[in-house]
Chains A and B, each alone.
Chain A
């Protein structure tokens, strides 16, 4: 089984993307053998009221039984926009969202913002996963209207310290994976899974040695990034780096564990 923990539908306003609907994503999943995708609607990064994007995603998923079977929705929540508590409640109880995605850089708040901490705690209390995407796009060729900041792993340390018993996905790791000994321990002691889409997952065998085989899972960051590089990093591992049991964890086992499926 193969589970992609980092897929998106919706529009990226600065560049045309392919396969950004549930139908197109499903076709791509079938072509490349992906069973399940954790999916969010990128429109929610740009709508002030992110719940509209969550509703779009929900309506698309419930429109086809195949989508219901193959997609796990994550809601996009902005904790500095009014009504997020109700939105979270609806996404959790009525839309089947297993987790939430936060975009502090786009929604213009800090991880230390009390509302953000409250949201992460609320997600934790509901058993929902909290996903952070360290960057949506490479800032070098980005649009002149896009943000100019990207995050490193260490940027997440404050929120993890604040809510260490939440479950986290860390996606598209592109600006360094090195942490201090103390920070590495913090990450290893927390229920965190990194996806394999980011450019800094350049030596997955070594990263498994550093963080452990339970902390990585296949992810594409589709449609922004190509669909196969994250898989290639897993499947090209030598037996000495990852035996078949470990590869199964990377393909789906770790995703299943944190998603509770």
Chain B
């Protein structure tokens, strides 16, 4: 066998990634403020500016196991942080309200307080599964509001997952089948399956929810698998995918840019699909 000389015939390709990045308007459908060790607001705005992200949908959820129980006082404090960020950056942030359905009456009161101050949706975490009856009045409220419910999702068959010998780190978090239960019971509600790139098995998730058109997904997360966007498109179609960041801004943009989606599909995922959700309640971006 002959030695291969490492020649470099430049392809002179003229791909300009930043030009393409700035081609697309963007709404991140999944971002946070206030969480310990999270990216400070000033840095979030700076990264968003670099990547042409106009709006970020922010929330401040409490994680079970964080030492906080998600009491009404605690979730009000979280939402106040979001409201403050919204007021300080009205052109950049859209707020999502966080509540704990264990406290039903207080949750509904808090939803009203937050919506009255301009929030546009709900973000819920792992205190109660999405298909738990405790959630019913909240889901019904969001049907009335014509707003989407972003639910933290896990789909672990690997480390810390729900189908693994290594132990389930979030036993009360919602798995795809919980989303399906809720979507079946409330076909008129809108659910956002969180962060396909957030460490869950996105193949499993896409297949599990494919037949339920009121379950959308955001493609945020740090695990920017090469085939994730194309796979999600294959199973869910181009109308049910939202661009999101969840702290992983470069991955959020990079996965979509590198996918095989055409330009029109990228426009939908980066901006139009989520804006159409916002439009239902009159909260869309012009």
Taking Cβ atoms with an 8 Å cutoff, the residues of A that contact B are 1, 15-19, 29-36, 58, 61-62, 68-70, 72-73, 90, 93-96, 98, 138-144, 146, 148, 174, 199, 202, 222-233, 235-236, 238, 259, 261
Contacts and interface: CB of A to CB of B under 8 A. Distances in A.
Given A144-B158, A222-B226, A232 B6 contact: no
Q: Could you tell me the dominant secondary structure of chain B's interface residues?
A: loop
Interface string B210-232: 00000000000011111111100
Nearest to A96: B4
B159 interface: yes
A144 B156 CA distance: 10
Given A18-B227, A226-B224, A70 B9 contact: yes
Interface in B5-32: 5-11, 13-15, 17-18, 21
Given A224-B225, A228-B17, A199 B8 contact: no
Contact of A232 (B10, B21, B230): B21
Contacts of B158: 138-144, 146, 148
B1 A226 contact: no
Given A17-B226, A199-B251, A141 B155 contact: yes
B248 A30 contact: no
A259 B6 CA distance: 10
Given A62-B1, A142-B159, A96 B11 contact: no
A32 B224 contact: no
B226 A141 contact: no
B258 A227 contact: yes
Contact of A18 (B159, B199, B226, B253): B226
Interface in B217-266: 222-230, 248, 250-251, 253-255, 257-260
B181 interface: no
Interface-centre pick from A17, A96, A141 (highest chain B CB count, 10 A): A141
Contacts of A36: 6, 8
B166 interface: yes
A69 B159 contact: no
Q: Could you tell me the dominant secondary structure of chain A's interface residues?
A: loop
A29 B11 contact: yes
Interface string B162-201: 0011100000000000000000000000000000000111
B167 to A, nearest CB: 11
Contacts of A222: 226
A16 B2 contact: no
Contacts of B203: 15
A1 B17 CA distance: 14
A199 B225 CA distance: 11
Contact of B156 (A29, A141, A233): A141
A98 B226 contact: no
B224 A141 contact: no
B7 A225 contact: no
Given A16-B227, A236-B50, A140 B15 contact: no
Contacts of B208: none
Contacts of A31: 13, 15
Given A31-B13, A174-B222, 7 more contacts: A16-B227, A35-B10, A36-B8, A90-B1, A144-B157, A222-B226, A235-B18
Contacts of A62: 1-2, 4
B160 interface: yes
B250 A236 contact: yes
Contacts of B258: 32, 226-229
Nearest to A30: B11
B51 interface: yes
Interface in B125-146: none
Contacts of A259: 6
B161 interface: yes
B225 A225 contact: yes
B116 interface: no
Contacts of B42: none
A36 B6 CA distance: 9
